[in-house]
Amino acid sequence: MTKFSLGKFLLPTYVFLTFLFLMIPIGYTFVFSFNDSIKSNIIWRGFTLDNWLNVCDQADVCSAFGNSILIAVTATLIATTLGTMIAIALVRYRFKFRSATNLLLFLPLATPEVVMGAGLAAQFLDFGWNKGLSTVIIAHVMFTLSFVVVTVKARVATLDPALEEAGRDLYASPTQVFRRITFPLLLPGILAAAMLAFALSFDDFIITQFNSGAVDTFPKFVYTAAARGIPPEANVVGSAVFLVAMAIVIAVQVRSSLKQRKLSK
Amino acid sequence: MAIDFVARGQDLELKGIRKEFPGFVAVDNLDLKIPAGEFFALLGPSGCGKTTTLRMIAGLESPTQGEILLGGKDIAGMKPHERPVNTVFQNYALFPHMSVLENVAFGIRQRKVAEPLPMAQQALAMVELEHLAQRRPQQLSGGQQQRVALARALVNRPSLLLLDEPLGALDLKLRRQMQIELKAIQMEVGLTFLHVTHDQEEAMDMADTVAVMNNGHIEQLGAPEALYERPKTAFVAKFLGQSNIFIGKVAESNSETTSIDFNGKKITGLTSRSEKHTGKIAIGVRPEKTNFHEEEPAATSGLNILGPGEITDIRFTGVSNQYQIDIPDVGEITVFAQNVGRSPVIELGAKVFVSWKVEHSFGLADLPSGAEEAE
């Protein structure tokens, strides 16, 4: 006779409930993106594909989304490039103020967003810089940079310096060593950092709110719209972003498991 | 690219090389000459400066002072990628993101060779791995990775091939096999090999010339047999094999023999096999050159006899037994005796005499450091 075990039953239930709790808002957003709503998107009024097919009918949704993408892509490119260079320098070279730089890089991670957003806004005001796309991008580069450095640094630390030495020994100049050895080996870390930076930038609200002026981003739009009822097109955009992100995650998982199987063959 | 492919290896000469790191001197005034086509081993314990020396020749470290001449040309100021020198790294440092073939082709691609892949394939064939060309390095066994690293370096036909403890990561059996293969490849390609190792057997087995390094300088340099038969310093006598060493004041020295007074006992060696003939000197003998006897042997001028002493330890090592014999006023002596069937049945605690021929003694130029080493 098997003994009745509480743990055997309790743990799966607990895990199931946790995931259910986490998934409800996402599921709600997804389901209501198909709602045939009139004014507010709170009561279910029947299924329609109109919201998905005509997402840009609600002009503000699409332009806000476009701004968010533009800001996130630009900020990610700048932050990833700078952050990768900083990470390599911090791991590979000994220089003055190295530990000070390390410490400073952690500050944005620890500073409350409100403080950082307000501080930046005050600075831009001081400089007489009009708030707009450029100020948001600068602000986003600033707060995503630390995340990039931390992520890439971890990858650089696992990179055996002997590999780069072997490249130099095999007639590759420092630039060629970087292009053919260092960069390809760091690429997974750099991509992870870029994805993180993109995600952070894309859904940032607080810092953006302080520094964007009249420029509307997607999170800002949703926040403002919430007061008078979020249009279903916002649900469409949110769901689409979620689906794309999930598709990428699944694709990466499948690819790495295929690679694993090929290697162990 | 300005680097030429060479048909044969080139001479390497180090002149007054010194390397300082913050707080210590890794290599101190090192002079070394390696003739073209020779298999040269730099042997020493970890921290003796051998790897630093190799890295300076590869260009991965720059010497604080001194010249590095390759084929008569000073390369000390050249960048690593400008030197016609290739290295087999300690942990092989194969590029994990490239196939085995691409790894081997890396150097020749950099040098803009017209058809790098067939050449790389050929190099892989030399190390008998052409069938694994499309694999990734991490799919290969340690011995196979080592051979890929070797092919990757050799395909460039460097003037000088540097080997940094290349067999350290392999198990004993594979290491023996690789030693033989490495030596065969060196004979075949005729390149100059500089092999850095802490394994004395490996160095003696493969190298034409061995330089024993200690504390940043070369203690002694020569053919393996010469180094073993005639160590000149206490460090070499102890690092390269084992030795029984006796310290005493010179009691008598003529053109034939030199004797010391060792706690009242006379120990003799040939004058020609002794570095010093006055004052306090150390005389040593290899354990396999010594014999033990249950009866006291007849004293002759050609024999050093010590004892009687007690056997305190017997270790069976397969081909021979190692005996530790404790002789009053003398100390511990190690004797190796071959297990050839006629080995005397000797047990722990037995009383024996130890003897060896005078011509097997060697006189050292210095004294072993520390009294406890003066066995």
> Do B106 and A263 count as a contact with CB atoms less than 8 A apart?
no
Each as own residue / partner, the long-range contacts of residues A124-131 (CB below 8 Å, 24 or more positions apart, any chain) are A124/A211, A130/A213, A131/A211, A131/A212, A131/A213, A131/A214, A131/A215
Using alpha carbons, select from B196, B202, B201, B199 the residue that is nearest to residue B218. Answer: B196
Q: Which two tokens stand for residue B290?
A: 């010594």
Number of domains observed in the structure of chain B: 2
Say what the pLDDT of residue B373 is. Answer: 42
- CATH number, domain of B247, equals 2.40.50.100
* Per-domain boundaries in chain A: 30-58+231-265, 62-230
pLDDT surpassing 50 at residue B62: yes
Average pLDDT, chain B: 88
Per-residue pLDDT averaged across B79-93, rounded?
A: 92
Using alpha carbons, select from B375, B237, B372 the residue that is nearest to residue B312. Answer: B375
Percent of chain B with pLDDT over 70: 95
Distances (CA, A) of B130 to A262, B91, B101, B125, B161: 20, 21, 8, 5, 22
Of A162, A172, A263, the CB nearest to B93: A162
Residues in A closer than 8 angstroms to B85, CB to CB, are 169
pLDDT surpassing 50 at residue B217: yes
Per-residue pLDDT averaged across A199-222, rounded?
A: 92
Residue B304 in any domain: the answer is: yes
Using alpha carbons, select from B81, B75, B99, B94 the residue that is nearest to residue B15. Answer: B75
CB burial class (10 A; 0-12, 13-18, 19+) of residue B14? buried
Q: What are phi and psi of B354, to 5 degrees?
A: -115, 140
* Confidence category of residue A265, pLDDT binned at 50, 70, 90: low
Of B110, B138, B139, the CB nearest to A170: B110
Q: Which two tokens stand for residue B214?
A: 């200690």
Residue finishing a domain among B208, B229, B250: B229
CA dihedral angle for residue A104, residue A106, residue A112, residue A113, rounded to 10 degrees = 90
Per-residue pLDDT averaged across B168-180, rounded?
A: 80
Residues B221 and B272 in one domain: no
> Do A162 and B91 count as a contact with CB atoms less than 8 A apart?
yes
Q: Angle at the Cα of A164 (from A159 to A169), degrees rounded to 5?
A: 155
pLDDT surpassing 50 at residue A215: yes
The per-residue pLDDT for range A181-194, each reduced to its tens digit, is 999 999 999 999 99
Cα B48 to chain centroid, rounded = 12
> Do A165 and B110 count as a contact with CB atoms less than 8 A apart?
no
3-state SS, residue B27: strand
Does the model's pTM come out above 0.90? no
CB burial class (10 A; 0-12, 13-18, 19+) of residue A170? buried
Using alpha carbons, select from B58, B39, B318 the residue that is nearest to residue B179. Answer: B39
Q: Is A163 on the interface with B (CB under 8 A)?
A: yes
Per-residue pLDDT averaged across B176-192, rounded?
A: 82
Say what the pLDDT of residue A164 is. Answer: 95
Residue B190 in any domain: the answer is: yes
How far B21 CA lies from chain A's nearest CA (Å)?
Answer: 14
> Do A263 and B80 count as a contact with CB atoms less than 8 A apart?
no
Per-residue pLDDT averaged across B228-238, rounded?
A: 93
Neighbours of B280 (CB within 10 A): 11
Per-residue pLDDT averaged across B126-134, rounded?
A: 90
Average pLDDT, chain A: 90
Residues B219 and B260 in one domain: no
What residues form DSSP beta bridges with B355?
Answer: B291, B305
Residues B213 and B258 in one domain: no
Of B89, B90, B111, the CB nearest to A171: B111
Residues B310 and B174 in one domain: no
* Confidence category of residue B1, pLDDT binned at 50, 70, 90: very low
Residues B284 and B214 in one domain: no
Residue finishing a domain among B201, B229, B257: B229
3-state SS, residue B238: helix
SS (H, E, C) B156-218: CCCCEEEEECCCCCCCHHHHHHHHHHHHHHHHHHCCEEEEEECCHHHHHHHCCEEEEEECCEE
What residue of B is the nearest CA neighbor of A161?
A: B93
How far B102 CA lies from chain A's nearest CA (Å)?
Answer: 11
What residue of A is the nearest CA neighbor of B149?
A: A166
How far B107 CA lies from chain A's nearest CA (Å)?
Answer: 5
Residues in B closer than 8 angstroms to A182, CB to CB, are none
Residues B157 and B248 in one domain: no
Least confident of A53-57, B50-54, B224-228, B370-374: B370-374
> Do A169 and B60 count as a contact with CB atoms less than 8 A apart?
yes
Segment holding B70, helix H or strand E: strand B65-70
Say what the pLDDT of residue B345 is. Answer: 63
Per-residue pLDDT averaged across B25-47, rounded?
A: 91
Topology of domain A62-230, CATH: MetI-like fold (1.10.3720)
SS (H, E, C) chain A: CCCCCHHHHHHHHHHHHHHHHHHHHHHHHHHHCCECCCCCCCCCCCECCHHHHCHHHCHHHHHHHHHHHHHHHHHHHHHHHHHHHHHHHHHHCCCCCHHHHHHHHHHHHHCCHHHHHHHHHHHHHHHCCCCCHHHHHHHHHHHHHHHHHHHHHHHHHHCCHHHHHHHHHCCCCHHHHHHHHHHHHHHHHHHHHHHHHHHHHHCCCHHHHHHCCCCCCHHHHHHHHHHHCCCHHHHHHHHHHHHHHHHHHHHHHHHHHHHHHHHHC
Residue finishing a domain among B229, B245, B276: B229
Residues B19 and B99 in one domain: yes
The per-residue pLDDT for range A123-177, each reduced to its tens digit, is 999 999 889 999 999 999 999 999 999 999 999 999 999 999 999 999 999 999 9
> Do B60 and A168 count as a contact with CB atoms less than 8 A apart?
yes
3-state SS, residue B319: coil
Residues B263 and B220 in one domain: no
Q: Which range has the top average pLDDT, A26-30, A135-139, B176-180, B196-200? A: A135-139
Residues in A closer than 8 angstroms to B87, CB to CB, are 165-166, 169
> Do B58 and A169 count as a contact with CB atoms less than 8 A apart?
yes
Residue B351 in any domain: the answer is: yes
Residue B224 in any domain: the answer is: yes
CB B70 within 8 A of CB B83: yes
Residue B220 in any domain: the answer is: yes
Per-residue pLDDT averaged across B141-150, rounded?
A: 90
CA dihedral angle for residue B224, residue B228, residue B233, residue B235, rounded to 10 degrees = 90
What residue of B is the nearest CA neighbor of A263?
A: B139
Mutation test of the interface with chain B: which of A92, A160, A168, A170, choosing the one with the most B Cβ atoms within 10 A?
A170
Q: What are phi and psi of A229, to 5 degrees?
A: 100, 115
Residue B5 in any domain: the answer is: no
Residues B219 and B320 in one domain: no
- CATH number, domain of B189, equals 3.40.50.300
Using alpha carbons, select from A134, A128, A123, A129 the residue that is nearest to residue A75. Answer: A134
How far A80 CA lies from chain B's nearest CA (Å)?
Answer: 22
CB burial class (10 A; 0-12, 13-18, 19+) of residue B151? buried
Of A165, A171, A185, the CB nearest to B110: A171
Q: Is A168 on the interface with B (CB under 8 A)?
A: yes
Say what the pLDDT of residue B374 is. Answer: 41
Residues B189 and B245 in one domain: no
Q: Angle at the Cα of A177 (from B22 to A162), degrees rounded to 5?
A: 50
Distances (CA, A) of A43 to A54, A147, B190: 20, 40, 86
Give the span between the Cα atoms of B120 and B113, in whole angstroms: 11
Residues in B closer than 8 angstroms to A170, CB to CB, are 81, 86, 106-107, 110, 152, 156
How far A21 CA lies from chain B's nearest CA (Å)?
Answer: 42
> Do A173 and B95 count as a contact with CB atoms less than 8 A apart?
no
pLDDT surpassing 50 at residue B60: yes
Task: Identify the residue with better confidence: B137 or A36.
Answer: B137
Residues B277 and B357 in one domain: yes
Residues B109 and B175 in one domain: yes
Say what the pLDDT of residue A42 is. Answer: 79
Give the span between the Cα atoms of A90 and A87, in whole angstroms: 5
The per-residue pLDDT for range B112-126, each reduced to its tens digit, is 888 899 999 998 988
Q: Is B106 on the interface with A (CB under 8 A)?
A: yes
> Do B85 and A165 count as a contact with CB atoms less than 8 A apart?
no
Residue B170 in any domain: the answer is: yes
> Do B96 and A185 count as a contact with CB atoms less than 8 A apart?
yes
The per-residue pLDDT for range B262-313, each reduced to its tens digit, is 888 889 999 999 998 888 999 999 999 998 888 888 888 889 999 789 999 9
Q: Which two tokens stand for residue B73?
A: 């040309």
For residue B326, what are the domain limits?
235-373
User: Read out DSSP for B94-130?
Assistant: --TTS-HHHHHHHHHHHTT-S-HHHHHHHHHHHTT-G
Of B87, B90, B110, the CB nearest to A176: B110
Task: Identify the residue with better confidence: A63 or A40.
Answer: A63
3-state SS, residue B233: coil
pLDDT surpassing 90 at residue B43: yes
Q: Is B107 on the interface with A (CB under 8 A)?
A: yes
Mutation test of the interface with chain A: which of B89, B119, B135, B164, choosing the one with the most A Cβ atoms within 10 A?
B89
Say what the pLDDT of residue B320 is. Answer: 84
Per-residue pLDDT averaged across B336-359, rounded?
A: 81
Buried-exposed string B1-11: b where 16+ CB fall within 10 A, e elsewhere? eebeebeebbb
Residues in B closer than 8 angstroms to A180, CB to CB, are 106
Residue B4 in any domain: the answer is: no
ipTM: 0.82
